Structure 1
Amino acid sequence: QPRAVVLHDFNEDGKLDLAVATAGNNRVTILLGDGTGQFTRGDSYPAVRSPVSLAVADFNGDRKADLAVALRNDKLLVLLGRGDGSFLQKAIYEYGDTPTAVVAADVNEDSLPDLVVTHGGKMSSSVVVFLGNGDGTFRPPVAYKTGHSPLNVSVLDLNGDRHQDLLVVNGERDDISVFFGKGDGTFTQGISFGANAGPIATVTQDFDGDGKTDIAVANNLSSDLSVLLGRGDGTFWQPPRSYRTGAAPFAVTAVSFAPQDPRPGLVTANNLANTISIFLAKDPRSNIVPRN
């Protein structure tokens, strides 16, 4: 039952390797790449219970890749890399109920990686921020309330103030939440923007060519894409534009399909339809048209 995978050169041989989190045996396994697309099984590490998400960064400043693992038992596992493809367990942190995603990013502008985790249990739904100390440890978490059942989080500057903001997908409230960063690792309370039924994944790009960040949301239950056009200040026009996909999209990415046309199109992977949907950018601005 693989739940998450990240690509990185963990043994520093110039070739990409894989770290795979599997829920069935509750482990994180390293697969070492040979540069031809083939992989050899490396070491495997116990992950206590049901790892669901992985993030990679240098958490202790030794220039070697480390891993953060979000665990289903409301804990966060930190594995410190040795630079040879093996890892040392550093610490386990408790922080909330039912984690769904973890992302590594520098949110307080001290050049040290921090961790941002979404969790959405029966009692609470929030996004949690761990500020890194630079030695492989983290400060006590600070939580921000989200919509019900946050599924994932992206860290990026949405309002152009050069501070990192948070974009959270709320799976059971049919919207997304934006938290504006203050540059010190703290955030404003979230502002919500409607999507459609069952949002599950997002991608950000300038889809209409106005120099402002827009958001495309894959909606699993309504089987469509919501495109939210940005105003440039971190807010988005409502209602969103809607485009039909195959049944139950669960992932979306932005792609430029031709070198002579830099405008990003969109691709969704459709779970129940066993298809992908391709949307090509076209004029007038921000229109996106599907191609079967």
Structure 2
Amino acid sequence: MKFERTAQGMFISDSRPQHVATGDFNGDNHLDLAIATTGSDNIGIRQGYGNGTFSSRINYSTGLGSLPYWVAIEDFNNDTLLDIVVANYGTHNIGLFLGYGNLTFSDQLTFPCGSSRPISLAIGDFNQDNLLDIAVVSNGTSHVSILLGFGNGSFQMYHYYVL
């Protein structure tokens, strides 16, 4: 089901949205939305018009049974365009959608997280190499996983830290 704008300016959905992040995906200086929706196994993109309203949703599949829980926005391949990373609970991986700067994105690239079920992400340069890395918290485990970034849109599992 699509989100619809109501008279109150709210979106209604049965696709079970879990998390939302913002970024300017098309360079118009207005914030756009990226929404993880577990009920429809996709991320939804909505263009912001700068007046509190948004476009209809554009969906990008995260894969059957992926159950995306969390999204984060950064430039992971150093092309100055925003990309979207997603925690896919159901398929035990992290997905990356490379941005093209015009509200469109690549097909999902995936990076395994072992047997863990990722539910949230944090982005930072954890090994001080000036490249973005991903910290992943998973449901049902007592650890944080670190995926090291190579600056080209790819990552490698580095370490599990027990909490």
What band does the TM-score fall into relative to the shorter chain?
A: 0.7 to 0.9
Does the alignment pair 1:180 with 2:98?
A: yes
Give the structure 1 partner of residue 50 of structure 2: 134
Letter in 2 for 1:133: Y
CA contact (8 A) 1:228 1:236 kept: yes
Letter in 2 for 1:135: N
Which TM-score applies when normalising by structure 2?
Answer: 0.87
Alignment of 1:1-292 (within 5 A): 75=3, 90-94=8-12, 97-121=15-39, 124-147=40-63, 148-196=66-114, 197-237=116-156, 239-245=157-163
CA contact (8 A) 2:135 2:146 kept: yes
CA distance, structure 2, for counterparts of residue 94 and residue 186 of structure 1: 23
Structure having the higher Rg: 1
**Number of residues paired by the alignment?**
160
Unaligned runs of 5+ in 1: 1-72, 79-88, 246-292
CA contact (8 A) 2:5 2:12 kept: no
Cα deviation per residue 1:117-164 (whole Å; 9 max; x = unaligned)?
A: 11011xx30000011222332222110011411111111111111111
Of all paired residues, the percent bearing the same amino acid is 32
Q: Which runs of 4+ in 1 moved over 6 A?
A: none
CA contact (8 A) 1:201 1:219 kept: yes
- SS of 2:43 mapped into structure 1: strand
Q: 1:230 to 1:168 in 2, by over 3 A?
A: same
Cα deviation per residue 1:229-267 (whole Å; 9 max; x = unaligned)?
A: 111111112x4322222xxxxxxxxxxxxxxxxxxxxxx
RMSD after superposition: 2.2
CA distance, structure 1, for counterparts of residue 4 and residue 145 of structure 2: 32
CA distance, structure 2, for counterparts of residue 193 and residue 172 of structure 1: 13
Letter in 2 for 1:140: S
